[in-house]
């Protein structure tokens, strides 16, 4: 794997840096082979969306944070891509919310779970974060799902009332909604099954979302649940942005 040589003046600096972070994560055994494909799909949508947090993404982010704040048992889940791109920030958010995080990967292997935990533990030590990491020993199952991706922790995902699941698969998102949870998805594709299934979809890039949430937590912004929020309408606004960018 090559060294990262691009400097910040490069017009595609952020994109190159994210790719580099994923290369490192892959070399540590944190990613399934399909992770790069999922990232590529995200990149394509980010290009179409203008590679910035839209106004409607910020509205969804604020509402998501308000729901997490008001939750009895909030949880943030982290997969390999998310750990590589925003592991530190998501653990900082969990610390502020006083909730655990749970490793939640689609193609579950013990080796990959251990690699992700090792990566996150190193970040915790370096930054003095105390967030609890769940997922090593699943002891519950998400009803309606088959195989290893049904596995979860009773203390974490299973018992949660509000769940932040970045880059989630549509099927599992649907199963979590059926469990009665408020499901918050981060997905750059406003047309994915996850995006359409979720209670709140933040159509934005996960590292930008995590930074925006930290900024909101650190500001004295008064965070209230938006009772008029309609997810489908918010998704349509992202689709409108793509269409407008194409026309301009």
- Residue whose CB is less far from ligand ATP, 37 or 224: 37
Site for ligand ATP, residues 23 to 52, rule: CB under 6 A: 38-39, 41-42, 45
Interface residue with ligand ATP among 90, 113, 184, 188 (CB under 6 A) is: 188
Between CA 106 and CA 151 the distance in angstroms is 10
Q: Which does 38 bind (CB under 5 to 8 A by kind): Mg ion, ligand ATP, none?
A: ligand ATP
Dihedral sign of CA atoms 179, 120, 45, 48 in order: positive
Interface residue with ligand ATP among 56, 63, 131, 194 (CB under 6 A) is: 194
Helices 80-97, 13-27: axis angle to 10 degrees equals 100
Does the protein bind ligand ATP through residue 186 (CB under 6 A)? yes
Between CA 245 and CA 232 the distance in angstroms is 20
Residue whose C-beta lies closest to Mg ion: 194
Interface residue with ligand ATP among 163, 205, 212, 234 (CB under 6 A) is: 205
H helices of 11-109, in order, are 13-27, 35-49, 55-70, 80-97
Between CA 182 and CA 154 the distance in angstroms is 17
Site for ligand ATP, residues 132 to 171, rule: CB under 6 A: 167, 169-170
Rounded least distance, CB 165 to Mg ion, Å: 9
Q: Determine the distance from the C-alpha atom of residue 6 to the mean position of all C-alpha atoms in its chain, rounded to a whole number.
A: 26
Residues interacting with Mg ion, by CB under 5 A? 170, 192, 194
């Amino acid at each position: 794997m090559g060294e990262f040589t691009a400097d910040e003046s490069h017009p595609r600096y952020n994109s190159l840096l994210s790719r580099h972070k994923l290369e490192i994560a892959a070399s540590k055994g944190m990613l399934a082979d399909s992770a790069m494909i999922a990232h590529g799909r995200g990149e394509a949508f980010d290009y179409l969306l203008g590679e910035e947090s839209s106004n409607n993404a910020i509205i969804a982010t604020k509402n998501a944070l308000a729901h997490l704040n008001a939750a009895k048992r909030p949880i943030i889940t982290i997969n390999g891509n998310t750990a590589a791109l925003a592991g530190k920030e998501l653990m900082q958010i969990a610390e502020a919310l006083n909730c655990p995080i749970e490793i939640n990967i689609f193609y579950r292997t013990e080796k990959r779970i251990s690699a992700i935990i090792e990566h996150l533990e190193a970040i915790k030590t370096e930054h003095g974060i105390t967030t609890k990491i769940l997922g090593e020993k699943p002891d519950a199952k998400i009803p309606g799902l088959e195989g290893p991706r049904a596995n979860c922790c009773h203390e974490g995902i299973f018992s949660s009332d509000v769940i932040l699941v970045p880059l989630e698969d549509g099927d599992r998102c649907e199963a979590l909604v059926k469990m009665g949870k408020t499901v918050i998805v981060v997905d750059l594709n406003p047309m994915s099954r996850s995006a359409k299934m979720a209670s709140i979809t933040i159509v934005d890039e996960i590292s930008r979302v995590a930074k925006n949430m930290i900024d909101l937590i650190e500001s004295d912004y008064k965070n209230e649940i938006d009772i008029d929020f309609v997810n489908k309408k918010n998704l349509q606004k992202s689709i409108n942005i793509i269409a407008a960018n194409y026309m301009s």
